[in-house]
Structure 1
Amino acid sequence: MFDNMTPNQRLMSAVLLSVIFFVGYTAIFPPKQAEVTEAEAKVKTQVQTKAAAQTTPNTTTQVSQNPSGHEISAQDKIAASESSNILTVTNHDFILKMDTLGRISSMELLQEKFNDKDGNHAQIIPVSGVKPLYVRFLDESLNNEAMQTPYTASTSKIELSETPQKVTLTQKLSSLTVTKEITFYNDGHYDINVNLSQDKRYFIYLGQRPQLTENMMTVHGAMIYTGDDLVTIIEDGEAEGRKNFTDVKLISAFDQYSATIMYGFSNETNIVVERDRDDNPVVYFDALQNMSFNGYIGQKEFKTLKNINPMLTNAIEYGWFTFASKPLFSLLSWLHGIFGNWGWSIIALTILVRIVLYPLTYKGMVSMAKLKEIAPQVKEIQEKYKGDPQRMNAAVIEFYKKKGANPLGGCLPMLLQIPVFFAIYRVLLNAVELQGAEWALWIDDLSRMDPTFILPILMGASMYYQQKLTPTNFTDPMQEKVMKFLPVIFTVFFVTFPSGLVLYWFVNNLFSIAQQFIVNQQIANAKDAQIAAHKSKAKKDD
C-alpha cells in the first residue's frame, strides 16, 4: 500500500500511525498493577544483611552483582492493625498512624474527591510492604532484637492545626536506644531526627510507593533527584539491581497523583536503590548516629509542594516532555487563578496554544490545499514515468518547485505540534489538581472519564467534521478508507480518557475547524479573484 505513496503521504501516515499506536496502546494495555493478598503479606522472609554490608557511602552509581531479590522482614510485611499502632496524627485532611516498629503504618486521606470507586477513603501507605521510616540494622542479631522490641511514644494522639506538633518515639534495646523525634505539620510534611545511643550501622527506608491510581501512560516507581538537576526514575518491574547515589536532594516513591518523599539529606548521604522479587525498586539510605532529614506523604499538588519547599515540585514528573510540560502547567495554574475553574482554564490554555501555533498550522493548511490542487497533475507525471522511478521523482520534484509547493509543508508543522500535544497530555494526566474538579453541566470530575460519553462523542464528531473540511491528496483508496475511520477509532479510545484531556482535544478540534474554514474560504476567494482577473483580461483582449 505504501509503495505508490509520495514522501508527504508516507510522513503523514507515520505520524498518524504513531498517534494511533500511542493512544491505542495506553487504552488497551494500561500498566499492570501488582496484586498483593493478605496471605502473601504474611509470608515470612529473612533480611538479607550480607548484600547490605557491601553498600559503602560516596560510591558511584553501579549495578549489584547479586541478582537475588531484596527481602524484607516478616514483621514488616504484616498488615498494620489497630493494636500495633502507638500514635495517631489527625487533621481535617488526613489521619496518619505510626506502629510499634516506629514506622508510618498508614495515612488515610479524608477528602471525598480522593475516594475510590467504592466510596472508601484513599489509603496512601499500602497495607503490606516496607513502610516509611522503617529502620534496619546491619548487625543481624541486633536487627532481630529490634523486630521484637516495640517503640513507645511520648503521646498517643496528636491533633494538628496551624501549629506543628512534636512527638518522641523510643526503642530501648539491650545495648542500644533508638530515639525518633518527629515534628508533624498540617500540610503533610514532617521533620525528623533519629538518634542512636551508640554508633551502629543502620538504614532507613523510604517505603513502598502508593497504589491509589494507575492510569494509562503514567509512570509508577521510584525517583532520585540529585544536585545536578538530574532526575533518575526506576519504574516498577524495571529495577535491575543495586544502585548507589550521592548528592541527592530528594527521593520519592510515587504513583500517578501521590507520593512518599524524603529530602533534606547531606551531600554525603548514600542513597541505595535495590529491587524486590517483582523487580520493583526499594529505596533506603545509610543513616548516621545522629540523622536529621525531612519527609512528606500526600498528593503531588504543586502549590502544596512549593509552599513546603520549591525543590519538592521536582517530584512531579512528566516523562520525556517535562521541559515543555512544566511551563504549560504553570500557565494552566495561572489561568486557574483567573477563572477559578480548571475546565475553563483548560479551554483558555487551548486557545493560547492555538494562537501561538497559528502560523505553523496556517502554513501547513495552505500547503495541504496547494498539494491537493496540483495532485491530478502530479498523478499524470507519475503515470507518464512509472517505468522509470528516477526520472519520475525528478520530474515530480521539478514540478513542485515550479508550482512553489512543498511536499513536506503540510507535515512539518504537524510534527512540530506533536511535542506540544504530548506535553499537554502529560500535564492533564498528572495534575492531581483535576481530581474532583468540576467544569460545567454533567462534568463533575475532570480527572475521570465522562460517564455519559457525551464529551467523547462530541470530540469524535468534531474530528469527523474537521476531516471533511481538510483537503487531502490520497492516491490509495485503502488509505483513504482507513483515514475515514480515524474519528470512530479515536472516539472509542477517548471514552476511557480523563474528561479534562477529552475537553482539551474537543476544543482543539473546534479551533482547527474554524481555522480550516478560514483557510478554505481564503483559497476559494483567491481562486474567484484569479478567475475574475482572467475573464477581465480575456474580455480586454477581445
Structure 2
Amino acid sequence: MQSKMDTKLVLFLIFSTSMLFLWEAWQKEQRPPSPAPAAQGTATQPSARQNETPVPGEKLASTQPGMDLSSAENAPPAKPGGLLESGEKITVKTDLVSAEIDTAGGDLRRLELLNHPDKEDRNKPFALLESQYDHVYVAQSGMIGEGLPTHKTHYKAESSAYSLAPGQDKVEVRLVAPESDGVQVTKVYTFHRGQYLVDVRFEIANHRAAPIQPFSYFQMLRDSKPPVGSVFMIPTYTGAAIYTEQEKFKKIEFSALDKGNASYPKTADNGWIAMLQQYFLTAWLPKDKSPREYYAKRLGENQYTAGVIVPVGTVEPGKTASVSVPLYAGPEEQSKLSSIAPGLDLTVDYGWLTVLGAPLFWLLSLFHSWTGNWGVAIVLLTMSVKLAFFPLSAAGYRSMAKLRLVTPKLQRLREQHGNDRERMHKAMMDFYKTEKINPMGGCLPILVQIPVFISLYWVLLASVELRNAPFALWIEDLSSPDPYYVLPIIMGISMFIQSKLSPPATDPIQQKVMQIMPFAFSIFFFFFPAGLVLYSLVNNVLSIAQQWQITRMIEGAASATPLSKKR
C-alpha cells in the first residue's frame, strides 16, 4: 500500500506542476476583458473630475495629461493607432534603435530595437513602441499651463530624417511649438550612441512681462495587448510599475485601473514609473531629489497611461528654463538596469520563486561568460544543480533500488492481506522497518527538482538575454519551443528509460499510467521553451546514469549475499 501511496504522490507532484502552467495560461485566455467602469452622467465619457491630474503646488490647469484622450468632445477623428492624430514623420537612426517621432504632439510613436529580432519574423527588428490599428504603445510628453504645448500640439522640425554619423556620440532632434502669448517652447530629443536612454527636454523661453511657473509631464500610453507568446506558457506581466525608495517596487495592474482601486505612491522626490512587458520596458527616470508627482489611469476602452509630472520652476521675464527627463526604452538587460536607475533591475520578474531564480540566472550568466553559448550554460547549470543535490538524490535512488528488489515480497504481502487494508498497511510498515527502506525516499529527487524547474522556467520567460539565444543545429531560440519537437521526443524516451529503472507498480492501473506518462509529458514539453526541455533532458540523463549505477550496486550486493551465506 505504501508503494501505491508513493507512486500516487510522485504522479501528483509531476501532474500538479504541469497543471500549474496550463491552468494559468487557460485562465488568461478565457478571462473576458474588464468592462468599462460606469461613470456618473454618461456611460462612455468620464467626468472632468475623474480625469483630473493633480499638479503639485497649485490648482489643476485647464490642460491635463491624459484627459483629452478620453474626452469625446476633444478627441480627434479616429486614425491609425486609435485616437492618435497624425502629423509629419521624423525618423531617427542610431547604432541601437530606429525611431519615429510624429510632429503631432511630438510623440515617440515607433521604436525598433535593431539588435533584437522580432519574435514572428527574425528578419526585421522588434518594435517596442508602435502605433497601429490593433496596438498602441507610445511615449508622450507636454507642458501644463495656459497656452503651453501638450501632446496634441503640432510641432515643426528642421529635418524629417536624422542619423547618428560615424564618430558622433549623440544626435539631437529639435521640435518647435507655436509661440503662445509670449512663451516659446522647444521639445528636444537626444539619442545616444550605445544606449537605450533618450533624453527628452523642454526649453521654455519667457517673453512675457511677468514670470511663469509651468509644469511638464511625461507619460506612456498603451493598450493592454500582451506581447506575442505561446498560450501554453504562463502569461508574463504586462502593465505599469512604479518604484520609490519608500515603497520600493510596485506593480500597477490594468485591472486595478479598470476598477479604480489602484494603490501607489503619488508624490516623492525619487523613483521612476514604467510600462512593462515580457523582456522589455519603457520608464521615465526623473532626477533623484527633485519633486515629482506620479499618476496612472484608465483613459478609455483598453487605453491606459502612466506618467510623472515635474515642475519647471519659476521662469523670469526674458529668461529661458529647461526641464529634462530621460526615457529608457529597451531590453531588460539585468547587468545594466541597476546602473541606470536604483531599483530598475526589479522589473525583471522571476515570479514567486525569485529567491531561486536570481541566483540561477547569476550562475547561468557566469557559465555563459565562460562558454559564449546559453545552451551550454544551461547544461553546465544542470550539472551543477545535480552535483549540489547528489547526496540527497543518491539516498532517494538507493531507496528506489531497494524497493525494486523487494517488490515481489511486497506483492505477496498485498495478496496475503488484501482483504484487510489495516493489517496490510501494518505488515508493510514492519517490512520497510526490517529492510531499512524509506518508502518516501524515491520522492526526494523529484521534490528537489520541482522548485528548480519552475525557477528556471521563469528565468527563461523573464531574461531577455536568452531571447532568440541559439544553442546548436536547429535550436535557434532557447526561449521558444523546439520547432521540430526533437528535444521533447528524446525527453520522453529518457522518461521511459527512467521508468524501467524505478520499482514496478504492483497495481495494474498504476502500471498503465506509468507507461503512458512518458508519451503524455512529451506532448506537454512540445510547448515548453527549448531551454527548459534541454535542462530537463540533461537532468534526466544524469539521473538515469546515477540511478542505474546505484541500482546495479544494490542488486549486485544483494545477489552476492546468498553466496556468502552458503560458504
With normalisation by structure 1, the TM-score equals 0.80
Match runs of 1:199-218 below 5 Å = 199=213, 203-208=217-222, 212-215=227-230, 216-218=233-235
Distance 1:54 1:448, change over 3 A: closer
Return the letter of the residue paired with 1:484.
Q
Look up the match of 1:539. none
Distance 1:428 1:288, change over 3 A: same
Distance 1:249 1:355, change over 3 A: farther
Look up the match of 1:94. 97
Look up the match of 1:84. 87
Kept in 1: contact 2:96–2:115 (CA 8 A): yes
1:283 maps onto 2:306 in alignment? yes
Task: State the distance in 1 between where 2:46 and 2:143 align.
Answer: 9
Kept in 1: contact 2:97–2:114 (CA 8 A): yes
Q: Secondary structure at the match of 1:110?
A: strand
Task: State the distance in 2 between where 1:135 and 1:14 align.
Answer: 56
Look up the match of 1:514. 545
Equivalent of 2:483, from 451, 467, 470?
451
Cα drift, residue 106 of structure 1: 0.7
Q: Secondary structure at the match of 1:252?
A: strand
Task: State the distance in 1 between where 2:23 and 2:107 align.
Answer: 39
Distance 1:355 1:5, change over 3 A: closer
Task: State the distance in 2 between where 1:488 and 1:6 align.
Answer: 21
Task: State the distance in 1 between where 2:243 and 2:508 align.
Answer: 52
1:126 maps onto 2:130 in alignment? yes
1:232 maps onto 2:232 in alignment? no
Equivalent of 1:273, from 283, 296, 313?
296
Distance 1:390 1:489, change over 3 A: closer
Distance 1:147 1:17, change over 3 A: closer
Return the letter of the residue paired with 2:234.
M
Q: Unaligned regions of 5+ residues in structure 2, if any?
A: 34-43, 58-68, 207-211, 314-322
Deviations 1:337-378 (A, max 9, x none): 111122222222221121112222222222223334445555
Kept in 1: contact 2:221–2:303 (CA 8 A): no
Kept in 2: contact 1:218–1:429 (CA 8 A): no
Kept in 1: contact 2:197–2:329 (CA 8 A): yes
Task: State the distance in 1 between where 2:30 and 2:276 align.
Answer: 15
Distance 1:312 1:336, change over 3 A: same
Look up the match of 1:171. 177
Distance 1:190 1:525, change over 3 A: same
1:257 maps onto 2:279 in alignment? yes
Return the letter of the residue paired with 1:189.
L
Q: Secondary structure at the match of 2:130?
A: coil
Return the letter of the residue paired with 2:11.
S
Return the letter of the residue paired with 1:243.
S
Q: For this pair of structures, how many residues does the alignment match?
A: 512
Match runs of 1:306-455 below 5 Å = 308-309=340-341, 311-378=343-410, 393-455=425-487
Cα drift, residue 454 of structure 1: 2.2
Return the letter of the residue paired with 1:222.
A
Distance 1:415 1:114, change over 3 A: same
Deviations 1:423-450 (A, max 9, x none): 1112123332233433222223333333
Cα drift, residue 201 of structure 1: 6.1
Q: Secondary structure at the match of 2:292?
A: coil
Task: State the distance in 1 between where 2:96 and 2:402 align.
Answer: 59
Kept in 1: contact 2:140–2:151 (CA 8 A): no
Q: Unaligned regions of 5+ residues in structure 1, if any?
A: 36-44, 59-69, 537-542
1:106 maps onto 2:110 in alignment? yes
Kept in 2: contact 1:207–1:260 (CA 8 A): no
Task: State the distance in 1 between where 2:481 and 2:251 align.
Answer: 28
Return the letter of the residue paired with 1:164.
K
Return the letter of the residue paired with 2:138.
K
Look up the match of 2:264. 244
Return the letter of the residue paired with 1:103.
D
Q: Secondary structure at the match of 1:132?
A: strand
Cα drift, residue 107 of structure 1: 0.7
Distance 1:513 1:53, change over 3 A: same
Task: State the distance in 2 between where 1:76 and 1:381 align.
Answer: 81
Cα drift, residue 83 of structure 1: 6.5
Task: State the distance in 2 between where 1:200 and 1:48 align.
Answer: 25
Cα drift, residue 16 of structure 1: 1.6
Cα drift, residue 194 of structure 1: 4.2
Task: State the distance in 2 between where 1:403 and 1:76 align.
Answer: 82
Distance 1:96 1:199, change over 3 A: same
Task: State the distance in 2 between where 1:225 and 1:71 align.
Answer: 27
Higher helix share: 1
Look up the match of 1:19. 17
CA RMSD of aligned residues (A): 4.0
Q: Secondary structure at the match of 2:20?
A: helix
Match runs of 1:124-163 below 5 Å = 124-128=128-132, 129=136, 131-135=138-142, 146=150, 149-153=153-157, 156-160=160-164, 163=169
Deviations 1:33-58 (A, max 9, x none): 999xxxxxxxxx86764224375879
Q: Secondary structure at the match of 2:352?
A: helix
Distance 1:402 1:204, change over 3 A: same
Kept in 1: contact 2:94–2:192 (CA 8 A): no
Return the letter of the residue paired with 1:332.
L
Return the letter of the residue paired with 1:163.
D
Percent identical residues: 32
Task: State the distance in 1 between where 2:295 and 2:52 align.
Answer: 12
Deviations 1:435-488 (A, max 9, x none): 34332222233333333332222222222222222234x343223322322221
Task: State the distance in 1 between where 2:562 and 2:25 align.
Answer: 50
Deviations 1:278-331 (A, max 9, x none): 677642233323554322112223345356457433222121122211221121
Look up the match of 2:200. 192
